[in-house]
């Protein structure tokens, strides 16, 4: 089975984000990491590969720096590393088209990805790729297993969890998965170093990136937290309780 | 908040991508598994067995050794591993140093093909722990006068004597023991169930509490003939091992120093006295600035020595300088960090006093600070000052 895992490199969740001229300043990001939900997808992909055999294809669309994340994926067991240049990419529909073309190019039987990227939180990649592939799509999954030609997935439902079974070409978008991404080891790291990253462009994939209908006006930092308030003495008890109840909503 | 290492001169940018990946692997593990559990391990005085398993799974034991299922990394990578482990705790780094440099290395360098094939894969995977017996109760800095001896009994060797301050002793499957055979120092592999061998644990340490320290006792200990290391005679054997372990310590101590610096900086920024954070006072800034200065110098020293180890153009005196300097500054940084933390500095809520107590051992073991000075003194003058004799 060819298992495609779609990955995105995002600022590490601990990295400080600065905005300059209405845009996130990427140069000021101290650490880039694999988006956390994608990590769950990758781990599930590795488990699927171990259970069924096959080839795990790690695909990303992004700038040069994203290749490092593919090498990290190889260190834990990704077999084929595909980097699609993001030249000319200006919105998520472009990304979906490119990823879809790569998924096809590598004859993938199943596609795993995170439910949303930790930076843009768009959440459109999984459903978007599924639509273009004309594939089944199950979102917010925590687990994907394969047996007798079917994929069995677990996802939340109104009353707890539900089991969804699909077959054929399918896309699974991961919420927090049931197992964390495994730690690499020295052997994996040394093998990853030898694994080439296949670099392709929209031209190589035969994808025409139409002019985008989406315009990003500006990005803004979240509003600063209001300053803390200090109360001293028993006479403030009623006021504090009321604030905790009505403003902070914690009691 | 993920750990951001102090790296003022971007020394880590000189590492290869592989070395950085190994660093991140070990660093993440230390953050997730070691730092949350280290204080309990210290209070209980145990080395958690999960750490042995994890080190084996990560594949970092015997880092620079090649073949026999060993990792085959660079010496620079080995140094980086030591630094990341020791940011967690010196006892953890000691475990890895002893396993890799003191137990696996002599088998790898001086062992027979059969010994290498038999022991090294299981030691690299962490399944078997090794220890190293050189120091004796009365012979520390002067191991050449050791008393432990081996006798050739025809179909076996008989060992008699005692070793002391042996890291991993009581949890080890095997010990690489140095003993005199007809007056010549030779290496022997002693297995834990060999008759006449025991390894009682030494209790009551105020330092390296999460590391097992033992005596090794040999009372007519009988071992098969094929357990002697054929490839080396004399003090060159143990000293080759110590060179590698000391090299690792020169990196490791920086890990402790960085942990102390981080803790001191964070504390100074948040501790308010006289209405201002104490970090705003010049005396405290002077201390933090001195810490950063010494850590940065130590990082350059360790990295350059790593490059020399990898290129093979090093001499033992280079290692003496780095071990001596980096442990010395790490210990002083830990003490100054303790001072910045005020009374809070004595609590195990902060890592500094643990590092400080650990580093007292690190300053003494693997060649004391003073002995390394004498090694460098001999290098400068050509006159050895270890003994009164010429």
3-state helix, strand, coil in chain B (%, to 5): 55, 15, 30
Structure confidence at residue B230 as a pLDDT band (50, 70, 90): very high
pLDDT(B3) > 80: no
Q: Do B240 and B377 belong together in one domain?
A: yes
B279 with B306, same domain: the answer is: yes
**Is the residue at B388 inside a domain?**
no
Q: Are strands A19-20 and A150-157 parallel, antiparallel or unpaired?
A: unpaired
> In this structure, what DSSP letter does residue B346 have?
G
- On whether the CB atoms of residues B318 and B256 are closer than 8 A, the answer is no
Residue that finishes a domain, picked among B80, B101, B124: B124
In a domain, A190, yes or no: yes
User: What average pLDDT is seen over chain A?
Assistant: 94
Taking the C-alpha atoms of residue B210 and residue B358, their distance in angstroms, rounded to an integer, is 10
A215 touching B, CB under 8 A? Answer: no
Confidence of residue A212 (pLDDT cuts 50, 70, 90): confident
Distances (CA, A) of B224 to B188, B228, B229: 10, 8, 12
* Among A173, A96, A104, CA closest to A128: A96
**B111 φ/ψ angles, rounded to the nearest 5 degrees:** -80, 165
- Residue (of B257, B352, B357) closest to B5 by Cα position: B257
Predicted local confidence at residue B124, as pLDDT: 98
- Answer yes or no: is A87 within a domain: yes
* Residue of B33, B84, B366, B389 with catalytic role: B366
- Between A and B, how many residue pairs show a Cβ–Cβ distance under 8 A? 44
The answer on B281 and B377 residing in a single domain is yes
Token code pair at residue A50: 């171990």
pLDDT band at B46 (very low <50, low <70, confident <90, very high): very high
- Arithmetic mean of pLDDT over chain B: 97
Mean per-residue pLDDT, B90-118: 98
Give CB contacts under 8 A, 24+ apart, made by B199-207: B199/B131, B199/B166, B199/B169, B199/B170, B199/B172, B199/B175, B200/B170, B201/B169, B201/B170, B202/B164, B202/B165, B203/B45, B205/B45, B205/B361, B206/B357, B207/B357, B207/B358, B207/B360, B207/B361
Mark whether B16 and B77 lie in a shared domain.
Answer: yes
Domain end, chosen from B105, B124, B143, is at B124
- A76, A182, A189, A194, best to mutate vs chain B, most B CBs in 10 Å: A189
A220 lies in a domain?
A: no
Report the CATH number at residue A157: 3.40.50.620
For chain B, the maximum distance between any two Cα atoms, rounded to a whole number of angstroms, is: 79
Q: Assess whether B179 and B160 both reside in one domain.
A: yes
Whether the CB-CB separation of B323 and B366 falls below 8 Å is answered with yes
In a domain, B357, yes or no: yes
**Does A250 contact B at CB distance below 8 Å?**
no
Specify the pLDDT at position B390: 63
Residue A201 lies in a domain: yes
Looking at the structure, do residues B294 and B186 belong to the same domain, yes or no? no
Q: In angstroms, rounded to a whole number, what is the distance separating the alpha carbons of residues A152 and B70?
A: 40
Indicate the pLDDT class of residue A226, thresholds 50, 70 and 90.
confident
Task: State the smallest CA–CA distance between residue A193 and chain B in angstroms.
Answer: 7
Asked if residue A61 is part of any domain, the answer here is: yes
Residues B106 and B162 in one domain: no
Is the predicted pLDDT of residue B389 greater than 80, yes or no? no
pLDDT digits (tens, 9 = 90+) for B162-199: 999 999 999 999 999 999 999 999 999 999 999 999 99
Whether residue A57 has pLDDT greater than 90: yes
- pLDDT score at B36: 97
> What does the pLDDT read at residue B121?
98
B→A interface, C-beta within 8 Å = 1-2, 4, 17-18, 21-22, 25, 28-29, 57-60, 63, 71-73
* Residue A226 within a domain: no
Domain boundary among B99, B124, B149: B124
Q: Which candidate, B249, B248, B277, B247, places its Cα nearest to that of B264?
A: B277
The pLDDT score that the predictor gives to residue A216 is 84
**B247 and B371 share one domain:** yes
What integer is the mean pLDDT of B96-118?
98
Domain check: are B75 and B144 in the same one? no
Q: Is residue A232 part of a domain?
A: no
Q: Output the pLDDT for position B349.
A: 95
Q: Say if the Cβ atoms of A186 and B63 lie within 8 Å.
A: yes
Does the pLDDT at position B2 exceed 70? no
Residue A103: the pLDDT is 98
The answer to whether the beta carbons of residues B260 and B334 sit under 8 Å apart is yes
Using the beta-carbon criterion (under 8 Å), do A186 and B4 form an inter-chain contact?
A: no
Q: Do A185 and B72 touch (CB under 8 A)?
A: no
**B320 and B221 together in one domain:** no
Question: Is residue A129 within 8 angstroms of chain B, CB to CB?
Answer: no
CA B21, B26, B32, B34: dihedral to nearest 10 degrees? Answer: -170
Number of domains in chain A: 1
Q: Is B366 a catalytic residue?
A: yes
* Separation of alpha carbons B232 and B105, rounded Å: 12
Interatomic CA distance for residues A223 and A162, integer angstroms: 37
Q: Let me know if residue B338 belongs to a domain.
A: yes
What CATH number does residue B160 fall under? 2.40.110.10
Decide if pLDDT at B1 tops 80: no
Query: Do the beta carbons of residue B323 and residue B274 sit within 8 Å?
Result: no
Residues of chain B found within 8 Å of residue A187, distances taken between Cβ atoms? 59, 71
Angle at A105 between CA A102 and CA A106, to 5 degrees: 90
Report the 10 Å Cβ neighbour count for B137. Answer: 12
**Got the DSSP string for B176-214?**
EEEEEETTEEEEEEEETTSTTEE-PBP---SSSTTS-EE
Which CA distances in Å does B80 have to B60, B199, B387? 11, 31, 36
| Chain A partners within 8 Å of B71 (Cβ) | 186-187
Q: Residue ranges of the alpha helices (H) in chain A?
A: 36-52, 67-76, 92-105, 125-133, 186-194, 202-205, 237-246
CA distance B260 to B90: 13
Q: What is the DSSP letter of B231?
A: T
**Is the CA virtual torsion B160, B161, B162, B163 positive or negative?**
negative
Contact B208, B366 (CB under 8 A): no
* pLDDT for A251: 82
Nearest CA in chain B to A69: B21
Number of independent structural domains in chain B: 3
CA distance linking residue A126 with residue A112, whole number of Å: 8
Do B354 and B270 fall into the same domain? yes
CATH for B54 = 1.10.540.10
Instruction: Kindly tell me the sign of the dihedral angle through the C-alpha atoms of A47, A48, A53, A58.
Output: negative
ipTM metric: 0.88
Give B388's DSSP letter: S
Chain A segment 68-97 residues within 8 A of B by beta carbon are 68, 71-72, 75
* pLDDT of residue B337 exceeding 80: yes
- In this prediction, residue A16 carries a pLDDT of 86
- pLDDT, tens digit (0-9, with 9 covering 90-100), for B299-323: 999 999 999 999 999 999 999 999 9
pLDDT band per the 50, 70, 90 thresholds, residue B201: very high
**Structural domain for A136, as ranges:** 2-205
Interval B349-372: pLDDT, tens: 999 999 999 999 999 999 999 999
The helix (run of H) or strand (run of E) holding residue B37 is none
> Does an H or E element contain B128, and which?
none
Domain assignment present for residue B3? The answer is no
**Residue range A66-79, pLDDT digits in tens:** 999 999 999 999 99
Q: Which of B4, B17, B73 sits opposite A186 (nearest CB)?
A: B73
Residue A246 falls within a domain, yes or no? Answer: no
Condensed to tens digits (0 to 9), the pLDDT of residues B14-25 reads: 999 999 999 999
DSSP string for B297-345: HHHHHHHHHHHHHHHT---HHHHHHHHHHHHHHHHHHHHHHHHHTGGGG
* In a domain? residue B4: no
Note whether B223 and B160 are within 8 A (CB). Answer: no
Lowest mean per-residue pLDDT among A139-143, A156-160, B107-111: A156-160
Q: Does residue B175 sit in the same domain as residue B68?
A: no
Give the CA dihedral A120, A121, A122, A125, nearest 10 degrees.
Answer: 100
Q: At residue A154, does pLDDT exceed 70?
A: yes
- Contact predicate A57/A79, CB 8 Å: yes
Domain that holds residue B23: 11-124
């Amino acid at each position: 089975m060819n298992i495609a895992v779609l990955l995105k490199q995002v600022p590490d969740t601990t990295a400080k984000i600065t905005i300059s001229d209405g845009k996130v300043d990427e140069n000021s990001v101290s650490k880039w990491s694999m988006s956390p939900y994608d990590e769950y997808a990758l781990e599930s992909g590795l488990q699927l590969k171990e259970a069924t055999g096959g080839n795990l294809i790690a695909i990303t669309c992004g700038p040069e720096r994203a290749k490092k994340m593919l090498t990290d994926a190889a260190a834990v067991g990704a077999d084929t590393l595909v980097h699609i240049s993001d030249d000319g990419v200006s919105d998520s529909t472009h990304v979906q088209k490119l990823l879809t073309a790569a998924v096809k190019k590598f004859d993938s039987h199943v596609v795993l990805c995170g439910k949303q990227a930790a930076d843009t939180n768009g959440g459109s990649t999984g459903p978007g790729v599924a639509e273009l592939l004309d594939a089944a799509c199950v979102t917010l999954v925590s687990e994907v297993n394969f047996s007798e030609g079917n994929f069995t997935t677990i996802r939340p439902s109104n009353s707890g969890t539900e089991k969804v079974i699909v077959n054929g070409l399918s896309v699974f978008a991961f919420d927090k998965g049931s197992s964390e991404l495994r730690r690499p080891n020295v052997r994996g790291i040394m093998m990853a170093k030898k694994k080439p990253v296949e670099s392709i462009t929209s031209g190589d994939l035969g994808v025409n990136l139409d002019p985008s209908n989406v315009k990003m006006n500006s990005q803004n930092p979240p509003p600063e937290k209001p300053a803390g308030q200090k109360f001293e003495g028993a006479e403030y008890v009623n006021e504090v309780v009321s604030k905790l109840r009505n403003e902070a909503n914690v009691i | 908040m993920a750990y951001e290492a102090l790296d003022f001169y971007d020394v880590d940018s000189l590492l290869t991508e592989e070395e950085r990946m190994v660093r991140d692997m070990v660093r993440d593990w230390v953050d997730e598994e070691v730092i949350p559990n280290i204080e309990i391990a210290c209070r209980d005085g145990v080395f958690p067995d999960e750490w042995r398993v994890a080190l084996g799974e990560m594949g970092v034991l015997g880092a620079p050794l090649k073949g026999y299922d060993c990792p085959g990394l660079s010496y620079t990578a080995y140094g980086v591993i030591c630094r990341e482990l020791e940011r967690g705790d010196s006892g953890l780094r000691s475990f890895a140093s002893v396993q890799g440099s003191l137990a696996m290395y002599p088998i790898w360098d001086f062992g027979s093909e059969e010994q290498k094939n038999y022991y090294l894969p299981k030691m690299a995977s962490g399944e078997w722990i090794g220890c190293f017996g050189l120091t004796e109760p009365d012979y520390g800095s002067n191991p050449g006068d050791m008393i432990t001896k081996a006798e050739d009994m025809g179909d076996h060797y008989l060992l008699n004597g005692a070793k002391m301050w042996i890291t991993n002793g009581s949890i080890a499957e095997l010990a690489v023991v140095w003993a005199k055979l007809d007056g010549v120092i030779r290496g022997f592999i002693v297995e834990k169930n060999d008759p006449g061998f025991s390894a009682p644990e030494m209790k009551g340490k105020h330092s390296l509490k999460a590391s097992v320290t033992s005596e090794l006792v040999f009372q007519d200990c009988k071992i098969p003939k094929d357990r002697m290391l054929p490839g080396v005679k004399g003090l060159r054997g143990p000293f080759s091992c110590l060179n590698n372990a000391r090299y690792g310590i020169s990196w490791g101590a920086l890990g402790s120093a960085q942990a102390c610096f981080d803790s001191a900086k964070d504390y100074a920024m948040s501790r308010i006295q006289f209405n201002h954070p104490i970090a705003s006072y010049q005396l405290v800034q002077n201390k933090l600035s001195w810490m950063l200065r010494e850590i940065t110098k130590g990082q350059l020293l360790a990295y350059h020595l790593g490059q020399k180890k990898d290129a093979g153009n090093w001499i033992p005196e280079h290692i003496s300088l780095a071990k001596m300097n980096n442990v010395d500054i790490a210990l002083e940084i830990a003490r100054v960090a303790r001072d910045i933390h005020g009374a809070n500095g004595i609590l195990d809520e902060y890592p500094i006093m643990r590092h400080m107590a650990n580093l007292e051992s690190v300053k003494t073991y693997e060649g004391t600070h003073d002995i390394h000075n004498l090694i460098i003194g001999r290098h400068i003058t050509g006159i050895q000052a270890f003994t009164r004799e010429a």
